[in-house]
Every structure is written in structure tokens, then in C-alpha cells.
Amino acid sequence: MLHRTSFLVLALLLVFGLSLSACQAPTPTLVPTQPPTVEEAAPTEAPPTEAPPTEAAPTEEAPAEAEAAPVIMVDGKPLTMTDLNALEQITTEIEDKSYTGVRFLDVIEAAGVTAGKLVMIASDGYSSYVDVADLTDESLLAYNENGRLNAVLPGASRSQWVQDLIELQVAPEVEAQPTGAEAEAKPVPTLAGPIELTDAAGQTLKLDSLPQRIVVMGRGPHMVLHLLYMFPQARERLVGIESKSATSNDFASVVDPDLNTRTVLAANPGPEQIAALKPDLVIMRGIATEPMGESLSQIGIPVLYLWMETPEYFMQDVENLGAVLGNPQRAEEIKSFYQTRLDRLAEGIADMSEGEKSRVLLLEYNDRSGEVAVRVPAKSWIQTVEVETAGGAPVWLESAEATDGWTVVNLEQIAVWDPDKIFLVIWYTLDPEEVLATLKADAKWGALKAVREDQLYGFPTDIFGWDSPDPRWILGMQWLATRIYPDRFADVDMTDQVYAFFEQLYGMDRAAIDAEIMPKVNLDVH
């Protein structure tokens, strides 16, 4: 009985205790102080007895900050992904490929731009022009996998389809050159003439006198520029240069101390921008006349075409430059430099039959589309000519384009060829040593004869590559010969050849070559 009574007393005490605790205020849970809502006015000052709350780490606000980061600058105005998402979203099909993004016109209108020429600038410095008047409702800024924008411009040249677009600038008006009485007040030199020649495009060019205001533009303008600078008159007469990327004038700045006084045009300028420079000759690369060249000819501006894609074309191009610059003697000196080296290469392989020649594969290795691709050059391109002149037997000729373009090939095809030697032209943004190390570590590449026998090479460069129709192609040919047939060309010292090239063709002294060129040359990446 006592036990039951004690149990009842304990139960009553427990119920009473719970009742008391229910009447007390709960212990507060610490949470970050929230800003006042619209209905709730913020206090003018904090209560004197309370310390201000510690601000919470903005972990949940990070996505909002990312949304607020500018995706593109348009005429100095930043536009974020939120700004772009507020515009109408468009999906379109072009050549069996789907693009999603926003209308180009909507984007520039959001920044207050409605007319003029725009310079489109990519994250890697590449730039191109587009005229607002040429944009249509089909012109897009399409989203890409990098979280950036690609310019998709149906009807325009693919070179204008800038990838990873980060900025649109309104191009300033090019200042017109003096005309009328002001122009007549300037002394005009008496020049030799007339000149008549046949250029690489097969057209007959007639000039009444030597040109004094030269503009270089078109495809690969830096290649033309590098040949032009072999003539001392180039520095006196060059007034304008088209620049295709942020690095295209890296060598010109070494050999031309007055480069900053010349007009540098962004990629794909219009005829009126060229005409504003008052050129009396425009020089372009081409084996046929280009639409831009034809437009310039129609307004009275003569165009000289160079090609430089084979030794034969190169020699003709040098002669033509010597003619229009009034220095045929310098043209003969340049031709002699090249011919001496070509003769040495021909002599080194003169006694070889086709069956004795080493089977060679030259590939371009790049990741420009976000995926690695390997490609072989066209049959008539300088890369193929380099291999053949150096005595190699190109294994890819049946798979290559005849005259123009690179052809993508896969590893299965490369395994079928299984060449004796492989030379890789590695895209300039990649590290050649890392690329070769990666390929050697790959089991499928490692099964190739060239890799097993340590005959996989990276193609040399200095500021620019030795594999393109740039004057450096002669260095590429010589280097290939020393790697394909080291015994036959043991007397060819490539370090000496590099010094000779820049000394004799550009007038650089050894100190300048050591400072500007040699640190960028790697002759033995393999």
C-alpha cells in the first residue's frame, strides 16, 4: 500500500513539473539576423546593450553572385547571364547543327547600340568586325559549353563566327586622310614606273608608279607582313595592317620599331575602312581574286596577291614585291638565300629511290573545338611540300584534300598507315612536351611504330611556326631533313640556320636574336 502511494505521489509531481515548464518561454535558437522586410522599418541605430550580430557566410548567395558576373561587355556595359535570360531565348538549326541563345540585335539594343561597326573580341584575343546593318533576326549569340557566347552569323564568313565572345566594342570612325588643297600641299616624291606584273592570282597588275602607301590584309596577313619586312622599303611605305588575333603582330613588333605608328585594323574590315587609309596598293594572300580585293579594285585601289604556299609561288611573290618596292636586287638576294638551301636538300636525297624514302606522317594536333582533333594537310599545301622536299614519303596523300583544307583523321587510320616517323604541328595554346608525353602514355598511340622507336616529334616554332606559308617554311624543311635523314644532313646545324635566317633576311644582330627568338625555339621536342 505504501509502495502504491509513493508511486502516485511521484506521478503527480511529474505532471506538475511538466505543467510549470510549459508556462515558461522556450530557449531561443540562434539564427542569422535577417534584414527588415518592406513592412518592417529598420532601426535607426542598434540598441546600446546588444552587440551587432555576426554576418552569416554567404554560402547560399554564391549562385546569385555567379549570375551577376558579366558574361559580355557591350560598348562598356556589362551584361550578366540574368540580363541575357531576360531576353527572348532562340533555338535555330544551321547546317544540321542546333544553336540556342539570344538574338544579337537584342543584346546590343539592351546596351543602347543600334548602329555602326562592332569589333567582336574573343577570350583568346581574336577579333573580327561586323556591321550592325548586316545583322538579322537569325544572327545569334549562342551559349557554349564554357558558359560564354559564340557569335553565329548566318550568311557571313565563318571567320566572323567568333567563339568565346567576351566583348563588343563600337569601332571608332577611321580618320579620313587629307584631301583637296591640304593633300596637294604635301610633297609627292617622283617615282619610277610604270610597273606591270602577273601576281599569284593570275591577274595582270599595272601601276603607274611605285606605291607609297601599302596596306596588308586578308587571310594570314602576318605571313605577308613577314615577307614584306625582308625589304627595307616596307618600313617606309606600310600604313595599315589587318590583325587577326592578339598575337598576330608579335614578330612585327620585333623587326618594326615604328609599328605603333601604323593603323592596325581589327579582323575583316570593310572596303570603306581600307579606303580611308588612302592606300595606293593593298597586298593580300590568294591564289584567286577575293571578293574584298574585287571591291577595292572597283573603287580604284590596286591589289597584289601573294600565295607563298610552294617554293615556286614564293619565288614569284618575292620578285613581285621587289618590283613594287623598287628593289629587285634585294629580291634576288632573298631568292638566293632560299635557293641555296633548297639545292642542299635536293642534293641530299638525289640518289634515293621512292621505295627507299622514309614513310612520314605530318599531323596538326589541336583542341580548338573543345575536343582533340588530328588533321592532315592538303596535297598542295606547304606542310606536304615540306615533307616531300625533305625526302619523306607522305603516307596521307590518298586521304587528303587536293588543294585546300585540313582533313580530320582518326587513330584507326593512323594505325593502318603506321608510319616510320610522325611530326606533330601542335596548336599554339598547348604545351608540346605535355602533348607528346600524353600520346606516348596512351596504349594505342604507343603501339605505333614511330612511337615505339622514339620517332614522334613536335614541329618547331619560334614566335611563329615553321610549318605554314610564312617565310619560315625553309627552316621547317631543313629541320625535317635533319630528323628524317640525320646522316645525310649531318652538316646542317639548325641553330646556325636560325641565326642566318634572322640575320640575313631581317637584319637582326645576334644579341637581338638571342633575346627575342632563341628563347622560343625548341628544336628537339620528342
Judged on CB neighbours under 10 Å (0-12, 13-18, 19+), 215 is: buried
Q: Quote the pLDDT of residue 369.
A: 65
More confident residue, 67 or 240: 240
State the Cα–Cα distance between residues 409 and 363, nearest whole angstrom: 9
Q: Which of 51-65, 327-341, 367-381 has the highest mean pLDDT?
A: 327-341
Q: Quote the pLDDT of residue 164.
A: 80
Specify the DSSP element, H or E, that contains 305.
strand 303-306
State the Cα–Cα distance between residues 490 and 482, nearest whole angstrom: 7
Q: Quote the pLDDT of residue 168.
A: 87
State the Cα–Cα distance between residues 104 and 377, nearest whole angstrom: 35
Cis previous bond, 271, omega within 30: no
Task: Report pTM.
Answer: 0.68
Least confident span in 189-203, 206-220, 473-487: 189-203
Supply the DSSP string of 252-293, one letter for each residue: HHHH-TTGGGSEEEPSS--HHHHHTT--SEEEEE-SS--HHH
Q: What angle do CA 6, 8, 11 make, to 5 degrees?
A: 110
pLDDT for 175 beyond 60: no
pLDDT for 56 beyond 70: no
Q: Quote the pLDDT of residue 94.
A: 85
Q: Quote the pLDDT of residue 9.
A: 40
497-520 pLDDT, tens digit each: 999 999 999 999 999 999 999 999
State the Cα–Cα distance between residues 408 and 367, nearest whole angstrom: 12
Give CA 186 to chain center in angstroms: 40
pLDDT for 54 beyond 50: no
Q: What angle do CA 372, 375, 378 make, to 5 degrees?
A: 160
Least confident span in 59-63, 245-249, 394-398, 449-453: 59-63
Mean pLDDT for all residues in the chain:
83
Q: What is the mean pLDDT of residues 399-407?
A: 75
pLDDT for 180 beyond 70: no
379-398 pLDDT, tens digit each: 889 999 999 999 999 999 98
117-142 pLDDT, tens digit each: 787 777 765 566 688 888 999 999 99
Q: Quote the pLDDT of residue 506.
A: 97
Which residues are registered as beta bridge partners of 127? 121
Quickly tell me which residue has 592570282 as its cell.
201
Q: What is the mean pLDDT of residues 400-406?
A: 72
DSSP-based three-state secondary structure for 223: helix
Quickly tell me which residue has 630528323 as its cell.
483
Q: Quote the pLDDT of residue 131.
A: 81
Q: Quote the pLDDT of residue 1.
A: 43
Least confident span in 66-80, 100-114, 430-444: 66-80
Q: Quote the pLDDT of residue 69.
A: 80
